[in-house]
Every structure is written in C-alpha cells, then in structure tokens.
Amino acid sequence: MAGSPTVANLITQRLVVGVGELAVSNAVAVTISTYALGSCVGVVAYDPAARAGGILHLMLPDSALSPGKAAAKPAMFADTGVPAFFRGMAGIRAERSRTRIFLAGGACVLSGPDNFRIGERNAEAVNKMLAVYGCSVVGRELGGTVNRTLHLNVGTGALTMKLPDRTVEYLLA
C-alpha cells in the first residue's frame, strides 16, 4: 500500500545534535543529524570497523571565553568539545586510528563584515585540536557564506550534507 511505513522506517531513530552538543552511537538504526551549521563547525566521526559514529556541533573556538559555560557544556567550544567527543566515541568502542573525520561549517553568514571571524577561528581551532589527537580529515566543507545540515547514517557510514542549492553524499565507511 502506498504511503505505508516500512519496518526499517519504524525502527529508525534520529538523534538531533543542537548547538553546543554532541551525540555518538553504535546503533545501526540511528541517524545523527545537526542543522544549520553557519559559523559553527560540525565534526563528524565514523569508525567503519566498529560501525560507530557521532557528530559534534561546536559554537566557539576557545573555552577561555567562558570557563563556567565550558564546564557545564564542553561541546560548545573546540578545545573542550573535541576531547569530550573522542571520549564519547571511545565509549562506544570506536578507535581513533580507524576513525574517519569530516568537517563542515565555519561559514561567514553575516550580511556585513565579520570582524570577529568566528567561523574561520572555529575551523582553525578544530584543525588544531585534531592535529593534537593525530587525526586526519578525509573531507571538509568549510568557509563560504552558506549554512549546512548534516545527517550521518550510523549503520552505513553515509553522510548527507544539505546546502541551500544542493545535497551532497559522502561515504565514510
């Protein structure tokens, strides 16, 4: 019957990652999503052997701006969010040496000049933290002037990135 739900649709779960949050999963029926990455940076990690993945949606580069906020919400900042993200990934048996990283966001979405360069600084801070952890990035869609939305299918490692004018598919498996 047209329009009837399939079994796969009934058991599929979506985890939504808000600004300054992260989510990890090794449940194959889960899709992890984050919406409207502007100057924020989305860090997507996927370990194909463990079939485990996650998304970090960080907002600012440096927790020194607000140590109290960083203690309460470490995922808000690059320097505290990346370590928390990798701890979460390790908790679901993902190994950093096998993990494939994709970065998106870091845009300048203001209509005028961005004297603070938040998007650019976020991207720089994430790249610095990933270098500290010895991680290589397999793909990136950083900068520009548009928002991006990400959907990671944990079961397959398929990453869908939606931009205002197109949708792009990546396979992290």
Catalytic residue ranges: 40
| 149 exposure class (CB count in 10 Å sphere: 0-12, 13-18, 19+) | middle
> 3-state DSSP call for residue 114?
coil
Distance (Å, whole) CA 83 – CA 147:
25
Quickly tell me which residue has 């990455």 as its tokens.
37
Helices 118-132, 78-91: inter-axial angle, 10-degree rounding: 50
Distance (Å, whole) CA 17 – CA 32:
7
Distance (Å, whole) CA 64 – CA 51:
35
Task: Find out whether 101 and 126 touch, Cβ atoms under 8 Å.
Answer: no
